[in-house]
Structure 1
Amino acid sequence: MMEEKLMSKKKPAYPVKKKLDTYLGRYNRNIEIPIFYDDLLRFAGSVAVYDNEDNDTLWVRVFYSDFDREEIDLSLKKVYSILHSDGSERILEYLNIDAIDYCTFGNSKPFRIKVRNILNDNYTHFYVKKTDASRIYGLELEHMLSPYNLNFLVYKDTLIEEHIAGIPGDVFIKNVLPKCTASEKAQLAKEFVKFNERCMIRLLGDMRSYNYVIVPVHDFDHVVYRIRAIDFDQQCFEGKLRVYLPQFFKENYKMVELVSEKLQEYSVDQYKIEERSIVAKRIISSGKRIKQLVSAARADRISLPENIERLKKEIHEFTMDVEFKKCKTMGEVLDTALDFVKRNYEDVSMKQIIDKKF
């Protein structure tokens, strides 16, 4: 008997409905920009982009006619100013668009823009993508519930995302992990457990090794590694609970193996509890903002009916919380999941208060 595939073949892009659009405007995410995704599709030619080891990156570098390139370069510089500065044009003369790359791999088919400061040769990237409501929910949830803030803009059918720096997970696992010390591997195992838990709680799926980066942080006399998601296409879409747990992807086998080798079962459970508590605190501190986002998601269509039915059943079996059986939309499943984490945290906190008092 063939094993069931973990992921669906293709996820559709969902439009931004009025309630989400209102939310984006309220929190300065919805800002007019001078170029659209479709404008960048007018390229006249392309060449493949290879990495330092001559492997095909699946990105192509695109070229435009002289007339189009001048207009596109100026518009992209303006987008950079809106995204990273005050939106004024006074910095434009110091910027250069070094490259525009296009990726046909995956759902979002993004353009990657390389912007260089000509005064000091520092450069950064940002991405231009087609708008997808489920991706926007993913970006906002990452902004509020992870340790990291995210900068992005939405205008009509175009999404602008800042670049998230780090070593791609698949590259790290292949080239860096074998050279890590025993203590670094133990710390990575701990971080993967927390990352795994965080993805499940907020229903972020498809965290295969090439969809997250590992960020080395130098702290006194050692290096601490952090794991950051970089792809939010699969926010609240799939019906299989396993999709929201990075541990079940074969691409993460080495990380799972690391957890088994370096951490005792008690430690794994403790790190899960820690992450749930941290996420619960972030839910509480986000206040009205996360309530407004989830309210938009509850009324939105960001998945298929069969996925909603399957996921709410599987989460009910996992948590034994009857509230999941009442959900009718994927946004309601998300709301119930976040509420479940929050309620359990508050119940434990209250018990600790009562225990101390009596």
Structure 2
Amino acid sequence: MNSQEKLISKKKPTFPISNLLSDYLKEHSRSIKIPIFYDDLLRFHGCVILYDKNEEDTLWVRTYFSEFEREEIDLCLKKIYTLLHSDGNEETIPFLNVDAIDYCTFGNSKPFRIKIRNILNDNYTYFYVKKADASRVYGLELEHILSPHSINFLIYKDTLIEEHIAGIPGDVFITDFLPKCSESEKSQIAKEFVKFKERCLVRLLGDMRSYNYVIAPTHDFDQIVYKIRAIDFDQQSFEGNLKVYDLQFMKENRKMIEMVSEKLKTSSIIQYKIEERSYMAKRMIMYPNRIETLLNCMKNDVISYPENIKNLKKQVEDYTSDPKFRDCENMGDILESILAFVKRNYLNISNKELF
């Protein structure tokens, strides 16, 4: 067993959506009736393997359906697109085409990736159809509330619809793009990585290996600005090992960690961590009712194993020297205590690190 397997030792189960979480999603317009379910797409008749430009298996396959089923499925997927990206008005459906329905054979969620093209101008976008999982839903909501990036998703019964998050997959960027970046660009990416790392750690988003986040370059005047965004929220508040929530312990991120050490002084790293925690505290202050209601859902939900909860609260208590973590009974309690810790220290920032 290698070090990565020791960090993540068990395959995470799918946790159902509780009634309390379902009510929260309805209140915030996340829950809406959709015309097709994840299980309907599993009825594909066959598939072909998709290869990348280097002729390597992408772990995605392109599915195909019978002619009769495909016509009905295409119409349903177009309707979902209008619900996700507009007000559900179906007048645009004649101008939409479903170019591809791809299925991922790797990971827990095994999503379908839908490519929708506007036939009038050939612009296209993607969205994903997944099996609904409480961990993933909490992860998406926390991303929306606490990160600098809003995120759009819909859920109906046991099916989750997610918008596509544009960017270059982290593993591809590290291999193909990072070596070509200028020294100033590497410094800027290092700064963003520190902030991303801190954000994931504080809100307990685990397993951020390089293929679970994207790097999005944006041209800004005479420079390129790089942002890092999570794209997989399956490991939200599940694992009992604190290292699973810390990107520096993922071997796939080694080159990024090395770059941070080379480009940034310790004082700068601490500064960027404080900046990110301050930003999260401001978000909590801006949306107090929403975050409180979401955490209440988590505290009354089952999204992990008892041994994971026991181990994690002990590790966080040891690291922070805060005895309040001793009284945590579930993952919702642990996350609430961490966020409360961040919020308490917002107006009295020191160089003492949370993690």
Deviation per residue, 1:175-197 (Å, 9 max, x gap): 00000000000111111111110
Mapped contact 2:126–2:164 kept (Cα < 8 A): yes
Mapped contact 1:144–1:290 kept (Cα < 8 A): yes
Equivalent residue for 1:235? 236
Structure 1 residue 232: Cα displacement: 0.1
Structure 1 residue 301: Cα displacement: 0.3
Mapped contact 1:8–1:238 kept (Cα < 8 A): no
Structure 1 residue 2: Cα displacement: 7.4
Mapped contact 2:313–2:334 kept (Cα < 8 A): yes
Deviation per residue, 1:119-148 (Å, 9 max, x gap): 000000000000000100000000010000
Equivalent residue for 1:356? none
Equivalent residue for 2:211? 210
Look up the equivalent residue of 1:35 and give its one-letter code: I
Structure 1 residue 9: Cα displacement: 3.1
Structure 1 residue 228: Cα displacement: 0.3
Structure 1 residue 291: Cα displacement: 0.7
Q: C-alpha distance in 2, partners of 1:87/1:53?
A: 39
Deviation per residue, 1:301-356 (Å, 9 max, x gap): 0000000000000000111111111001111111111111111113449xxxxxxx
Instruction: Report the secondary structure of 1:98's partner residue.
Output: strand
Look up the equivalent residue of 1:120 and give its one-letter code: N
Deviation per residue, 1:158-211 (Å, 9 max, x gap): 000000000000000000000000000011111111111000110000000000
Equivalent residue for 1:35? 36
Structure 1 residue 104: Cα displacement: 1.6
Equivalent residue for 2:11? 10
RMSD: 1.2
Look up the equivalent residue of 1:115 and give its one-letter code: I
Deviation per residue, 1:23-64 (Å, 9 max, x gap): 000000000000000000010000001112211100000000
Q: C-alpha distance in 2, partners of 1:346/1:152?
A: 33
Structure 1 residue 88: Cα displacement: 1.4
Farther-moved stretch of structure 1 (110-119 vs 49-58): 49-58
Q: C-alpha distance in 1, partners of 2:277/2:86?
A: 35
Following superposition, which runs of at least 4 residues in structure 1 exceed 4 angstroms of deviation?
A: 1-4
Equivalent residue for 2:267? 266
Mapped contact 2:274–2:349 kept (Cα < 8 A): no
Equivalent residue for 1:76? 77
Instruction: Report the secondary structure of 1:301's partner residue.
Output: coil
Instruction: Report the secondary structure of 2:189's partner residue.
Output: helix
Q: C-alpha distance in 1, partners of 2:349/2:67?
A: 64
Aligned pair count reads 349
Instruction: Report the secondary structure of 2:161's partner residue.
Output: strand
Equivalent residue for 1:60? 61
Q: C-alpha distance in 2, partners of 1:300/1:230?
A: 23
Farther-moved stretch of structure 1 (145-154 vs 339-348): 339-348
Instruction: Report the secondary structure of 1:5's partner residue.
Output: helix
Look up the equivalent residue of 2:30 and give its one-letter code: R
Farther-moved stretch of structure 1 (323-332 vs 3-12): 3-12
Q: 1:158 and 2:159 equivalent?
A: yes
Look up the equivalent residue of 1:170 and give its one-letter code: D
Q: C-alpha distance in 2, partners of 1:120/1:179?
A: 33
Equivalent residue for 2:313? 312
Q: C-alpha distance in 1, partners of 2:41/2:10?
A: 26
Look up the equivalent residue of 1:219 and give its one-letter code: D
Q: Structure 1-normalised TM-score?
A: 0.96
Q: C-alpha distance in 1, partners of 2:242/2:285?
A: 25
Structure 1 residue 92: Cα displacement: 0.3
Q: Percent identity?
A: 66
